[in-house]
Each structure stands twice: as C-alpha cells, then as structure tokens.
Amino acid sequence: MVMENAQLGFICPSAMACSYLDQAAQALKLSPDVVEILSAPRKVLTVSLPVRMDSGRVRVFVGYRVQRCDVLGPFKGGVRYHPHVALNEVATLAMLMTWKCALLGLPYGGAKGGITVDPRSLSVGELERLTRRYTSELIKNIGPQVDIPAPDMGTSAREMAWIMDTYSSQQGHAVPGVVTGKPLSIGGSLGREQATGRGVMLVVQEALQRAGRTLNGVPVVVQGFGNVGATAALLLEAAGAKVIAVSDSQGGYYRAEGLDIEALLTYQREHRTLKGYPAHQLTNRGLLTLPCTVLIPAALEDQIDVELAPLIQAEWVIEGANGPVTAAADAMLQARGVTVIPDILANAGGVLVSYLEWVQGLSYLFWDEPKVNTELEKFLRRAYDQVATLAQAQGVSLRLAAYILGVGRVAAALQARGLYP
Ligand code: NAD
C-alpha cells in the first residue's frame, strides 16, 4: 500500500533543520515564495510492508521515502533501518541531503528513506524479503534518473544489491544505476564503502591544517563504530592521530595511550559488538565529555544537547552523523569557542563517491581506487574552502556558511527554471 503525498503539511522536518533553512534564507534575502517552495517536500511516501517471517507468521513493517527537491537532478539519499525511524526524521534527513548535494556541487536533489525495524532482530532471509518488498512498493518512484537510494544506518552494500536486483527484475534488464553503495561485483565503486569515513578524516585534517596544526598524536574521540565512525577512526589513526575512545550502541571504550582500531574491528567482527572489549569502559555521556582535541559523533542525531554542550571539552566537533548536535547546543558550543564542522560538509564523502559510482556506471568506465580517492579529496577540499571563505567573509559559523551555499544554489536553480505551469 502506498500513500502518496499524504498530508504534506504535516511532514515537518525537525525544528533544527527548519531554523537553519530560515537563517540561510534570511542571509540570502530569498523571496517568501522561494522559501515556501523550499520548505515543503516534493513527495512523501509511506508504505506498509507485509513480510513472511521465518516462523511462518506475517509481520507488517512501515517504510518511508521522502523526496525533497529535484530541481538540480534526480533525488538521492540513503535508506535507514532502525527501530526509531519515523516520518519526521526521514523528512529532516531528506532536507539535509538536499543542501548537502548542492553544497558539493552535485547534480542531485535530496531524499531519504527508511524502515522502522531493528535489523539485528531479523534473519538474513527476513531482511531480504523486507528489502525486496520495500523496493517493489517504491518501484515507480525510484530509478537512475528519478531517485537513487544508498546505504545509511543499518543498511549496507548487501541491501543495495537486493534493491538493484528487485528493480532490475521488474525492468527486464540490469539497472545498476538505480542504487549506489552496491557491491563491486555489480557495478559498485572502489572506495565507496570507506568514502564517508575518509571524508570525515579529510575534514579533520583540513580543520587542523587551517589552524596551523597537524594530526600527529592529536587525541580523537569517536561515537559510533559503524561504517562512518570505524572508518574515520581507522584512517585518522593511520594519519597519525591518537584515537583514545570509541563507542557502539552497547557502550564506550577508552585507552589514554590510544586504542588499536584494527584490533577493535577484529573484535567487532568476531563478536558482532564491542561489548567485552578489554579497555576502560565509559558511558555515552562519559565518552562525549572526555578531554580531547577532536570529537566525532558518528552514530545518531541529537546526541549533543543543551545539557551536554557546556561539558564538551573538545576543540572541534566534527559531525560524522547527520544532526548529532541540536540547534541550541550548536549555539552554546559556538559561544564557548568550540568549532563545529556541520554534517552537510563533514559527512558528504559518502554521497560524493555515490555520485562518482553513478557517473562510472552511466559511462560504463570504472576507475581505480586512487582516482576515486583523488576526486573525493578534490571535491571535499574545494567545498571546505568555499565554506570557510564565506564564513570568514560574512562572520558567520561554518554551519551557516554551508547552508547559505547549499540553499543558495538550490534557490538559484529554482529561480532559473521558473515555476511550472
Ligand atoms: P552504521 O549502522 O554502520 O553504524 C552506526 C553505529 O552507531 C554502530 O556502531 C552503532 O552501534 C552505533 N550506535 C547506535 N546507537 C548508538 C548510541 N546511542 N551510542 C553510541 N553508538 C551508537 O551507520 P553509519 O552508516 O555509520 O551511519 C552513522 C551516521 O552517519 C548516521 O547518522 C548516518 O545518517 C550518517 N551518515 C552515513 C553515511 C554512510 O555512507 N553510511 C553517509 C552520511 C551520513
């Protein structure tokens, strides 16, 4: 069952996402008409997903896809599997994707999808049936020129392969361009799996370099040890930083002299969790408030709020996750002199290499990993430079500068295209 455009007026992204849009719109002096168009998603889909469980019983899950704005190109955004997935969260993430793609100069509009499910509670067979049913419910609304899903929290290359196969079966031929973040064997890109974490590492490097510092021995704390957090930790360690603490949903682990990230990854592979890893244990709060130079929240949104903001001891907060700092906490951090590198810049490496994967697929020409990483670095450093230059010129935070650039590019495209009919 699909409910299209269901009560668009109630599909409200978080107050935080709306307040940043408002601030950027004011700085850009956008007309109220343009702001009104930018404030509403193009299409909102809620789908009910009956799945035959291994027990023989049927369970019905709920899935979403919010397509925010396609003025620059096809919709693009991840698919999240998490028990807390809800429509307003998906709508917020779709909005962030819109500004992120524009900030990076990618020809994409923003989207996001998700299913309210704890993927760890399902067998592989159940997950596959759920993913294929979700895809078939969205089949008319996705496609290489329409909307291109990618992995997000709780999904990976495996789910993208199932989406691609289900979509292709309906089309009667292989359509690799319908998803990005897929396995290499079916047209994925080298470097895609590590891209978001690599981007986070590059952004940390850039921030420190601009402050006349290097990564050597710099204490780093990472919340979330999944695709983004673990890769960022691994690459930062390789670049000379000292990762003193990491966490997953079960808890945090700390070693003052620096953790061994490879050893943590091996432990996680063997135990499917970090629980029991031999290091000093920390609560989530304890981890986030540790003295360190760089703090990377790379798990969930709203992790640093007004209660925690005064206790943060890092000099830089790099938003690996989407929306991990609330708007009020962001203002408090700024007032305390903590530099926050916003999500739409800090974690843009993923969509960037997704774009490179899409380009390689459309041109049937695949690149080696150094070329992918070089392009990633080029795009990301250019975007960082544009954001930092604007922030300095206008005396605004890096977040507002990033929003001004992203929102401004979407607004300019909207004005150039005009209103149909
Ligand atoms: P993932 O599922 O691979 O990993 C998430 C990690 O967070 C896991 O280690 C999980 O145990 C941990 N976690 C969950 N709840 C936690 C809690 N309360 N405290 C500490 N850790 C907790 O997800 P991911 O792909 O790494 O995504 C993480 C964040 O980065 C999300 O906000 C996602 O939207 C964002 N992001 C991901 C990508 C990507 O390419 N994967 C791109 C851009 C942004």
Residue 3 has pLDDT above 60, yes or no: no
Q: What is the pLDDT of residues 219-267, one digit of tens each?
A: 999 999 999 999 999 999 999 999 999 999 999 999 999 999 999 999 9
The alpha carbon of 200 and the centre of ligand 1 are apart by a number of angstroms equal to: 13
Starting at the edge strand found earlier in the chain, the sheet holding 242-248 runs 280-282, 251-254, 242-248, 219-223, 294-297, 316-318, 339-341
- Whether the CB of 299 sits within 6 Å of ligand 1: yes
Confidence of residue 12 (pLDDT cuts 50, 70, 90): low
Q: Would you state the pLDDT for residue 400?
A: 97
Q: What is the pLDDT of residues 19-29, one digit of tens each?
A: 899 999 999 99
Starting at the edge strand found earlier in the chain, the sheet holding 109-116 runs 2-4, 43-52, 58-69, 109-116, 75-82, 147-151
Helix (H, G, I), strand (E, B) or coil at 35: helix
The alpha carbon of 384 and the centre of ligand 1 are apart by a number of angstroms equal to: 23
Residue 379 has pLDDT above 80, yes or no: yes
End-to-end CA distance of the chain: 30
Confidence of residue 11 (pLDDT cuts 50, 70, 90): low
Q: What is the pLDDT of residues 46-78, one digit of tens each?
A: 999 999 999 999 999 999 999 999 999 999 999
Q: Whose CA is nearest to atom 35 of ligand 1?
A: 321
Residue with tokens 């926050």: 340
- Whether the CB of 350 sits within 6 Å of ligand 1: yes
